[in-house]
Structure 1
């Protein structure tokens, strides 16, 4: 008892610090590479692809089928749009805490609990009977799917040797994660069929069950556990959760309810800004912060953040552009399957094209090629008409999808290298940058794109209506032609006349929508060109700085050489 009460003096000061619940331990370093057989390595890569597709397809099922889901739930399309917001709210910030949870409780346990939770939520989906239960399930589904993106990365990197982790693993896993929502658009029409949302639930449950089997059959190696979570981490995360969640809700629903029509959107934005400001203030005054705000605000990291956010906004043209334009023109989801099949193939090809050439010094070249492709694709789309069909946009949309993977993987490579150079603790800060720009950037980009479309459509429709007057001989002639074409279906001349006028009004509305989307496509083209010019100027500045350094160093060497020659 006496020995136990008198610990070694040399350890007396260290032991209380390790037990202090307010001081986190350093994040563990990555485990050394352990070679695997070719078959087992292939199994881990396949598990990564399956898990990445599982979470992406589940998200795509919700965003793709809002109108059909609204009908199944007996809700309006506006009410059903809350399902997407409920799914995205936890995903925007939960990954910030998941890395510390993984370090504290072990990687293997983290993987097992994550996939079991996802399977449980997939089973809960069969209990949906109204909008409220659907919202609750979608919120938990967003929480349960957040760890799957991390698991997809970990399973892809586990079997690869260090030289191939970034060169092969990073492009493949990013292409896989991007592929999921696109495949959801390809699979949805066949799965919906006569069963409605039930078919999507069955598919999600099946994918979750396969993921569960893979996680238990192929365990991940777990680094030593450390006590990574301290109480103030939870306070900071809660504020970030409120801030990111509020921004997600505002930008997803803002263009639907319209920004100035309802007061609660403004209050949500105010609360979000206050919560994020409080989180930044707390983190700046912590000795062991959850996020290193000072590092995140360095010029290099700010440049990376703006680049990722800007690119995500530009890519919103593909998710919020072409599909919604065709929907406004009466094109069904089934008719869009070939278009999204091409987009899916282009996404995979973009990841595969990086593998032979992936190197840190080639990142600017990849970004230049990606921006050129996006600018060209958006410019081609900006010439759409009411007669445009999905097959006519396959090339332009395929170029944009190819550019998406070509841009994202090199950008993440640069960020990871900057974080690893400073130590494992900085990986968490970079992951926050990457995921927040992707999750929030997607919501913000879609909200801005939809807002521009609605505003421009109303403007174009007003101009068209001013030109469409019954006194115009061309309008009167068109009404007469359409009315005569309806003679076989409608006997009453007055009803035929009214129906003909309604058809012309619908045509004008469609024309206004197409003109609005053309404006948005052209704006995307201009943003891509601006980003390309900014990148080229940045590279030119770096080149001039390097030349100036060499030139300024040369004269300083010349006198010493001359003096050396003059010495006897």
Structure 2
């Protein structure tokens, strides 16, 4: 998620021309990465603690969905604005300011007294935290020379892939040990480190408030309307039965109006606040489309697996975290290796390997049963962790190839924005698929399991006898047996639906290997991400 380029002022060329990077600069880049990790983490950190939060705020599950939706809406709106705001205030001042407000709103989230206050504070938290992700990407491109960008991109890739997996894990641990407000208060640790890193690592820059007043505010309005309404449409659509709901139809219409208005104003203005014309470059288009698909895989798998483990296996949040951590740990070791390979091997080959591993790991999860748990899921998680770095790093390299310095912020913002939208689309698609496929499998299983089936009758007799042995009368025991059979059917239908969801993600990821080869051959010369 990155900052848009505003052509209102000529952006500086890359300031670092030699291969030497000072410790101050590395500290600033590392601090930026910490901010990106924190912001992505907070997208899903509430998921495993949602029951506790809703209980404290006296809210229903459906009402509680707005806690995540509010964050996502604000975040997706601020991403294209980041470059404009960074040019107005300077990178250093903007990063320190937005982090300070992020910490303030995080604290207010932990102290929220009702659902309405929580939604408002989460929205403000998303608007301030969303800027941290594009700024981390931009720091890599502007502060590091081409020979060092592979390292920077590798670290950025870790923030993008580790955080979605660790969000529910960390949230579960903190909630269980210290209560749900701690998932918001913990942000003070990385937040203060980020501020210190920015103060020490970056030089002051002059402010330029004229850029703010000259900005393409009509385009910004359409962008906010389109992306905000699209996110609400995706996040709330499944729970409201999509186009059977007037609410969803209205937001779909507003999203379409906003996005079309944004495209038209961008095409007709001499100085758009973000350069949508970059989508006309083949490499960038391929990279952003695949980034969206990767977002579907990243957020989709992080959505399905905890649900399966909680609903079917009955795992606690801490147990779920112990399974999911295996998506993260191997990446710490594989990412530096991928960064080195990216400068000597065609990145299309590396990305194909990544998609094959990532998609293959989802296919491995497409054959689960009700007894599947930690041991059976370990290797699929490891394979996924091996594949994700290959995809994330190489797609960043493709996206940035041939991008002029003046368009770097736009490219960064559009690339990261597209990945986030892909995640929202993926979760919406999977939530709908999970619901419809569960109904489908329940009906099919119900056709096979009926009172005329000898196997069903035998099982009912066994269960009835078992309940009678526990002291139930024959009628009650018979009813209990029927309920038990119904529960087994529902459970198996859900297991099959989860399998279908993983199969869908895997098939899409594997299918992306073909369009990937429409991109140009690319080796990241001395440091990936430059591609000039």
- Corresponding residue for 1:553? none
Task: Give the drift of 1:157.
Answer: 6.6
- After superposition, the Cα gap between the structure-2 partners of 1:523 and 1:150, relative to the gap in structure 1 and judged at 3 Å, is closer
Task: Give the drift of 1:190.
Answer: 2.6
Task: Give the drift of 1:283.
Answer: 1.4
- After superposition, the Cα gap between the structure-2 partners of 1:53 and 1:301, relative to the gap in structure 1 and judged at 3 Å, is closer
Task: Give the drift of 1:142.
Answer: 0.3
- Corresponding residue for 1:15? none
Residue deviations 1:378-407 (CA, integer Å, cap 9, x gap): 221111111111331121122223322211
Which residue, out of 493, 496, 504, partners 1:512? 493
SS at match of 1:93: helix
- Corresponding residue for 2:185? 202
Residue deviations 1:286-324 (CA, integer Å, cap 9, x gap): 112223333423444332332222232233441222222
Is 1:428 matched with 2:409? yes
Residue deviations 1:57-79 (CA, integer Å, cap 9, x gap): 32231233333322232222121
Give TM-score, length-normalised by structure 1.
0.83
- After superposition, the Cα gap between the structure-2 partners of 1:62 and 1:234, relative to the gap in structure 1 and judged at 3 Å, is farther
Is 1:348 matched with 2:344? no
Give TM-score, length-normalised by structure 2.
0.89
- Corresponding residue for 2:390? 406
Residue deviations 1:325-384 (CA, integer Å, cap 9, x gap): 222203322221221121111333342222222228621011110121123212211111
Task: Give the drift of 1:529.
Answer: 3.0
Task: Give the drift of 1:167.
Answer: 1.3
Contact 1:56 1:178 in 2 (8 A): no
Is 1:331 matched with 2:312? no
CA distance in 1, matches of 2:261, 2:67: 28
CA distance in 2, matches of 1:196, 1:375: 36
- Corresponding residue for 1:450? 431
Identify unmatched segments of 5+ residues in structure 2. Answer: 1-5, 523-532
Matches within 5 A, 1:263-302: 263-302=246-285
Task: Give the drift of 1:138.
Answer: 0.6
Is 1:167 matched with 2:156? no
Task: Give the drift of 1:88.
Answer: 0.3
Residue deviations 1:408-436 (CA, integer Å, cap 9, x gap): 1211122223223xx41x12331232122
Contact 1:371 1:532 in 2 (8 A): yes
Higher relative contact order (CA 8 A, sep 6+): 2
Which residue, out of 225, 228, 238, partners 1:245? 228
Q: Give the number of equivalent residue pairs.
A: 514
CA distance in 1, matches of 2:121, 2:395: 34
Is 1:498 matched with 2:475? no
Which residue, out of 378, 384, 392, partners 2:376? 392
CA distance in 2, matches of 1:95, 1:454: 31
SS at match of 1:290: coil
Task: Give the drift of 1:187.
Answer: 2.3
CA distance in 2, matches of 1:152, 1:25: 21
- After superposition, the Cα gap between the structure-2 partners of 1:232 and 1:188, relative to the gap in structure 1 and judged at 3 Å, is closer
Task: Give the drift of 1:510.
Answer: 1.1
- Corresponding residue for 2:166? 183
- Corresponding residue for 1:416? 400
Residue deviations 1:75-120 (CA, integer Å, cap 9, x gap): 2212111111100001112121111111122122112211211121
Is 1:486 matched with 2:467? yes
Contact 1:69 1:197 in 2 (8 A): yes
SS at match of 1:419: coil
RMSD: 2.7
Give 1 or 2 for the bigger CA radius of gyration: 1
